[in-house]
Amino acid sequence: MRPAHVVVDWGTSSFRLWALDSDGRVLAERRSQEGLAASGERGFETVLDSHLVALGVPDDVPVMMCGMVGSRTGWVEATYLDAPIELDGLVARTTIVPSSRRIHILPGVGQRHGSGPDVMRGEETQLLAVIGNAGEGGLVCLPGTHSKWVRLHGRAVAGFSTFMTGELFHLLRTASVIAPAVADAPDVDPASDGFAAGVADALESPALIGNQLFALRADWLLNGVAADASLARLSGALVGLDLTGPSARYGTLSRATLIAAGATAALYATALRIAGATDVAVLDAEDCVRRGLYVAALAVFGQGRAA
């Protein structure tokens, strides 16, 4: 195999690598759970090499990476660039990893002013795909452990806000007094009544979120509500809360772009519909990060040799 570029999205809990031809088409891919903690122990170079060797990628094929691999606890720290920032400028500010291979890490984006201190790593690369390939401007939602809402202006990130939605869901589900009420529940069904009720609760009274959470326990104690219904309502309340903040800060959520995948995409698309948002475009998060990495690789390394 002779790819033009290799691109890698290396996060806190997962590793994804694609070998691309000069047009950005996928020749091969590798996935693993070798996130930051696991890779730090084995050594980042060892982990990356094992995947490149498994695919038979020659030593002179350049590698473009993004995500938490560029954080303080990653391989090499890639500093945060300050928002507001033109996204095209990201590619001129990559960090070179000391290695016998050509390896670059894209910078994250930090916000010191505007709507409060904030940081992103990896999402800026997904945005690079959006401005390059899916039109410009408007509000972009990238839901997850730490959901990002980004206001684009032309080809720039004008400002952004992170919400601790997914992490709160995890903590409450596993380590709080709600845990017994949602134990062993299957994945949340976006079409369930519980999810819709949770979203409606949060949209109507975001200030009562602390009470909506405790009510899940009380409803289980008093009324024996089933675990799947309680978990759906918990998810709905937190996703609903995730919409009310940006709605207050950035105005209407209609015509927003949702960059997400799988279950998360379905939950947020449903919640946005319940919130009355129209014309929400949904883009696949993995496609976006791969395309953003390709845009960066092309800009930094050029077309590469013919496949």
Binding residues vs a second copy (CB under 8 A): 72, 80, 110-112, 115-119, 146-147, 161-165, 167-168, 171-172, 175-177, 205-215, 217-219, 221-223, 238, 241-242, 244-245, 247-249
Query: Least distance from C-beta 26 to a second copy, angstroms?
Result: 32
Closer to a second copy at the Cβ: 52 or 215? Answer: 215
Query: Least distance from C-beta 139 to a second copy, angstroms?
Result: 15
Parallel, antiparallel, or unpaired: how do β-strands 103-105 and 95-96 relate?
antiparallel
Q: ∠ at Cα 132 (126, 137), nearest 5°?
A: 85
Closer to a second copy at the Cβ: 109 or 128? Answer: 109
Q: Nearest to residue 18, comparing CAs of 55, 58, 70?
A: 55
What one-letter code names the amino acid at 162?
Answer: T
Angstrom distance (rounded) from CA 2 to CA 132:
26
In this structure, what are the phi and psi dihedrals at residue 241, rounded to the nearest 5 degrees? -60, -35
Closer to a second copy at the Cβ: 66 or 178? Answer: 178
Query: Least distance from C-beta 235 to a second copy, angstroms?
Result: 14
Closer to a second copy at the Cβ: 250 or 294? Answer: 250
Closer to a second copy at the Cβ: 126 or 161? Answer: 161
Contact by Cβ (8 Å): 300, 129: no
Query: Least distance from C-beta 144 to a second copy, angstroms?
Result: 12
Plot region of 120 (φ>0 → left; ψ -120 to 50 → alpha; else → beta): beta
SS3 191: coil
DSSP class of residue 2 equals -
Angstrom distance (rounded) from CA 6 to CA 226:
47
Query: Least distance from C-beta 31 to a second copy, angstroms?
Result: 24
Residues composing the chain: 307
Closer to a second copy at the Cβ: 192 or 247? Answer: 247
Which runs of E-coded beta strand occur in 135-213? 138-142, 147-153, 156-163
Query: Least distance from C-beta 148 to a second copy, angstroms?
Result: 10
Query: Least distance from C-beta 118 to a second copy, angstroms?
Result: 5
> Half-sphere exposure of residue 149, counting CA atoms within 13 Å on the CB side?
23
What one-letter code names the amino acid at 250?
Answer: Y
Closer to a second copy at the Cβ: 107 or 304? Answer: 107
Query: Least distance from C-beta 20 to a second copy, angstroms?
Result: 31
Sequence-ordered list of residues with C-beta below 8 angstroms from that of 48, at least 6 positions apart, any chain:
8, 17, 63, 103
Which residue do the tokens 């994804």 mark? 16
- 111 forms beta bridges with 118
Closer to a second copy at the Cβ: 1 or 164? Answer: 164
Query: Least distance from C-beta 7 to a second copy, angstroms?
Result: 25
Closer to a second copy at the Cβ: 97 or 178? Answer: 178
DSSP class of residue 1 equals -
